[in-house]
Amino acid sequence: MRLTYSPSALKALRKGPAKEMAALRAKLQEVAADPLGPYPWAKRLTDQPGYRARQGDWRAVYRLDHTTDEMIVDIIAQRDEVYK
């Protein structure tokens, strides 16, 4: 599955703490390689469509598009800002 980022998610990856962002990017690449794998840090969202991955206080909200075989990361933000 191909991993793509929205412009705002890319901006957050560049501006966030390097160590946290590198770990979050590695987790997202792992999910893209096997979207149905058992990941304790990735869960389906209940209020909106998609999934979230967590790394410390940072969250990434993504969705899976099986028609184009693509994983799209929409939002990367801190925990208190991501679901607003």
Could you count the other beta carbons within 10 Å of the beta carbon of residue 66? 9
CATH of residue 76: 3.30.2310.20
Work out the pLDDT band at 67, boundaries 50, 70, 90. very high
Question: Residue 53 contacts by C-beta under 8 Å, 6 or more apart in sequence?
Answer: 24, 27, 28, 31, 39, 41, 42, 59, 60, 62
C-alpha to C-alpha distance for 21 and 18, rounded to whole angstroms: 5
Q: How many domains does the chain have?
A: 1
pLDDT for residue 84 is more than 80: no
Q: How many percent of the chain have pLDDT more than 70?
A: 99
The domain containing residue 27 runs over which residues? 2-82
pTM comes to 0.91
Mean pLDDT confidence for 11-28: 96
